[in-house]
Homo-oligomer: A and B are copies of this chain.
């Protein structure tokens, strides 16, 4: 089956893994993309794997590895260790795709609870350390049959969360590694504005790099916490039919994940969220995926 919907647990942050899995199964969906802290809270990756399979679900992705930009040896070493643990967890829950949010500038590390050098605003240096970190993790990921999935983040998060801001840059970084071990995710919120988007989605398809398609909208005004400016499809300003057509035409036919950080959505009853996302998906996303897919090579 193509284009099956998946719930990223970032959309339902108040549920445990067990609660989220149950809500997803009840709503009739078959996939879930959990965050790592839910695995820990559930008693570890093996226990989490049981919870997911007991609910009749499969894990589409694990969120998240990354944060590879520390410049100090201790910070780098801790980052690599954490990513190796994430790779093992992804393998254990059967998620072939580990989403990588690569990290921001050392000068902004304090904003997300880390430490760094307040003077280090060198984005080129930070990008180079991301490339080194990915290269170092690739053999370990390959050994565990987990793909490192580079996530370009919206440029408004370039300072504090990800110095990787475009799909093109993610593909350039991936190019040094096999497609089965390093992929990219197309998350509409992060990339919808990019004038090179159509071309880069096509390139990602040709290079077999599209590991996940994530949909959520871009709301305005931005939320007080800018991270929570994501919206339900249709509530913001993204042209989902067009981007979905490009993604399917590029040959992607895997699950479509919904990851929404939004105060109102995150605190309402999960069954409402799941119902709404199913409706909006049917209305705004799926028709274009299926239409474009028909014409795609088999």
Q: Which residues of A contact B (CB under 8 A)?
A: 105, 107-108, 111, 121-124, 127, 154-156, 158-160, 163-166, 168-169, 172, 192-196, 218, 220-222, 224-226, 236-239, 242
Cβ-defined partner of A107 (8 Å) among B165, B225, B237 = B237
Q: Is the CB of A122 within 8 A of B156?
A: no
When distances are taken between beta carbons in the complex, the residues of chain B under 8 Å from A196 are 168
When distances are taken between beta carbons in the complex, the residues of chain B under 8 Å from A164 are 195
Q: Is the CB of A121 within 8 A of B155?
A: no
Chain B nearest Cβ from A245, distance in angstroms: 12
Question: What's the dominant secondary structure at chain A's contact region?
Answer: loop
Chain B nearest Cβ from A268, distance in angstroms: 24
When distances are taken between beta carbons in the complex, the residues of chain B under 8 Å from A172 are 195
A111, A122, A155 — which one has the most chain B CB atoms within 10 A of its CB? A155
When distances are taken between beta carbons in the complex, the residues of chain B under 8 Å from A193 are 123, 155, 158-159, 163, 165
When distances are taken between beta carbons in the complex, the residues of chain B under 8 Å from A124 are 242
Q: Is the CB of A169 within 8 A of B155?
A: no
When distances are taken between beta carbons in the complex, the residues of chain B under 8 Å from A195 are 127, 164-166, 168-169, 172
Q: State the 10 A-B residue pairs at the shortest beta-carbon distance, nearest first.
A: A158-B193, A159-B237, A169-B195, A155-B193, A156-B156, A121-B239, A222-B226, A155-B155, A165-B193, A121-B237
A124, B165: Cα distance in complex, Å: 20
When distances are taken between beta carbons in the complex, the residues of chain B under 8 Å from A225 are 221
List 18 contacting pairs A-B, 8 Å CB cutoff, sorted by A. A105-B237, A121-B237, A121-B238, A121-B239, A123-B239, A154-B156, A156-B222, A158-B192, A159-B193, A159-B218, A159-B220, A164-B195, A165-B194, A166-B195, A168-B195, A169-B195, A221-B225, A222-B226
Chain B nearest Cβ from A92, distance in angstroms: 34
